[in-house]
Amino acid sequence: MKAEDIRPSHLRPYDPQYDPLVAANPGHGTGYAPTYWVGTAGRPPDDDGPVSGDMDVDVAIVGSGFTGLATALFLAREHGIRAVVLDANQTAWGCTSRNGGQGQNASGRLYRSQWIARWGKDVALKLDAEIREGFQTFKDLVAEFPECEPQPGGHLYIAHREKKLDFLRNETQIMREVFGYDARMLSPEELRRDYVNDADSHGAMHEPDGIGVHPLKLAFGYLRKARELGVKVHPASPVLGVETRNGVHHLRTPGGTVRARAVGFATGGYTSNALHGSLRSKVMPILSNSLVTRPLTEQELEATGFKTTQVITDTRTLRFYYRRLPDNRVQIGSRSAVTGADAPNPIHMAKLVDGLHRKFPALKGITIDYSWWGWVDVSHDMMPRVFQPDPAQSIFYAVGYGGNGVSFSAHAGRRMAERIAGRQSKTFELPIYNSELEYPNVFNMVRSPAFAPFRRLGQRFLYHWYYMRDEKL
C-alpha cells in the first residue's frame, strides 16, 4: 500500500522539502511521507475530522504523534481528563511515521558516563532509574498493542572502528558497575556467530533492553485506545497562533479557535519557530534518511549473518541505525542532508546505500523498496525536556529526544499528563523536568537566541568534521 492510497482525497500531497526552520507551520492537511511504515500499516483508525468551529476544552494537545497520543491516553486513563488533540496534517504524520522503530533504554543523545560528568553520580543514578521506568512504560504499551510487531531481545552497539572499542568497554563498565545494568562486550567472532555479520564491525556492546517495533501500527493502537477513552483527535488543524487571555489559551486553527485551560506541545522535530515563544529557537531539527530493502532471500540472510532481529546502531557520530524487519527486509538510516531544500538530493540516499553495501557486501545491488527522510528533534544540550516554562501559565512541552523518542516518548507523555493534571512529584526535580530547553550555544559556554540563525552553518562544519573523525582520523 502506498502513502497516497491512504490519504483522503481532500488532503494535500506530501512535501519532500518541508523544513521546520523555514516553514511557518508543518502544513495543512498534508499526507504521509512514503515510508515503509505507512505502506504496511493499513488504513489509519477513524479520527474526529478537522476542527470545524470554536470550542472550549480542558486540555489541548498539539501534535498527534507518539508523545501527543501518549499524553492524551494517560490523561484519560490515569487522570480522567479527556483531551483534544490537534494535528496540522494526518495523525502521526511527523516523527512517528518516519523513524527507525528502535526502542532503547535511553533518552536524548548523552551516554550515562556523560550524565555523571554533567550532574554527578547521585543525579545520574536517579536519572537512570527514571529512564528505566520510562522503558518499562514503553514495554507495557508495546505489550498492550501486539499488532506493532515487537522484536525484543536488546540493543547492539557496534564498534565501526577498532579504536572505538575502548569507548564501548568504558561505557560497558560504567553501566555494569555504577548502574547495575547487564551490558557486556562481544568479540567480533561472537558478533558474527550469534548476531550479525556486519563487515564494518570490530566488536560490540550488547544491552539487554531494546525492542524494535512497527511505529505507525503502535501509534494507531494509541489512537484507537485514546478515542475509546473519550479523547478527540482533529487532523488537518494546524495551530496558526496562540494567545493567552485571562488564563485561557486561544489556539487559532483554520477551522476555528480552540480555547483551552491547559496546553501540551508535542510537536517534536516538526516544531515551527512561530508556534509558541517558549519553543522558539529551542529545538534543532536534524534530518535523518532511511530506507528499506526488498525481503532478503535465504541465501542473502546466510551471507549477511542476520540471525538477530535486535535493534542495532554503530559508533559513528552520524550513526547508522539498522535492523532486520519481521518480513526479512533490512531497514537502515543515518544523517546526511542539512536543509529541507536539499533533502531530495539523491546524493544523500546514495550515501545511505553505500553504507548498507559497506556493512553487507552481499546486498550490493539489492532493490530498495522504500526510502524517505524526516526531522529529528535535538535539544541544544542533547537531553529532552518535559517542562512547564512559565509557572503562571498552564502550558507544557515534551520534546528534544534526539533520536530516542520511539521509547521515551511513551514516558514523556505520561509525565506531561501528570504535570498537566497538577500532580506533584520528587521526580520532577530531575534536570530533564526542572529546567527549560536551552538556547543554542558556542562551545557549550555562551547560550543565546542570537546564535540561532547560524546553527546550520555550524552543522555543515560539524558534519564534515564528524566524517573525518569517524572515518579518517
Strands (E), 380-467: 385-387, 395-399, 441-442, 446-447
Residues with pLDDT less than 50, the chain:
4, 6-7, 9
* Residue in the structure block whose three cell numbers are 531530495: 344
Smallest Cα–Cα separation from 289: which of 319, 312, 268, 267?
A: 319
CATH tag, 133-214+285-372: 3.30.9.10
SS3 405: helix
Chain region(s) in the chain for CATH 3.30.9.10 = 133-214+285-372
CA dihedral for 467, 468, 472, 473, sign (positive or negative):
negative
pLDDT digits (tens, 9 = 90+) for 219-246: 999 999 999 999 999 999 999 999 999 9
Chain region(s) in the chain for CATH 3.50.50.60 = 3-100+216-278+381-438
SS3 53: coil
Cell numbers describing residue 47: 479520527
What pLDDT is attached to residue 2?
Answer: 54
For residues 232 and 229, give the distance between their C-alpha atoms in angstroms, rounded to a whole number: 9
b or e along 271-307 (b: 16 or more beta carbons within 10 Å of the residue's beta carbon)?
bbbebbebbbbbbbbbbbbbbbbbebeeebbeebbbe
Domain 3-100+216-278+381-438, CATH class in plain words = alpha beta
How far is CA 85 from each of CA 12, 68, 75, 412, 433, rounded to the nearest angstrom? 20, 7, 12, 16, 22
pLDDT digits (tens, 9 = 90+) for 428-462: 999 999 999 999 998 888 999 999 999 999 999 99
Strand partners, 375: 287
What pLDDT is attached to residue 6?
Answer: 47
Helix axes 112-119, 165-177, angle to 10 degrees: 70
What is the Cα gyration radius of the chain?
21
Q: Within 212-267, where are the H helices?
A: 215-228
Smallest Cα–Cα separation from 403: which of 422, 417, 384?
A: 384
Please state whether the predicted TM-score (pTM) of the whole model is above 0.95: yes
Residues near 259 by beta carbon (within 8 Å), at least 6 away in sequence: 54, 55, 56, 57, 248, 249, 250, 251
In SS3 terms, 307-367 reads as CCCCEEEECCCCCCEEEECCCCCEEEEECCCCCCCCCCCHHHHHHHHHHHHHHCHHHCCCC
CB 28 within 8 A of CB 12: yes
pLDDT digits (tens, 9 = 90+) for 348-371: 999 999 999 999 999 999 999 999
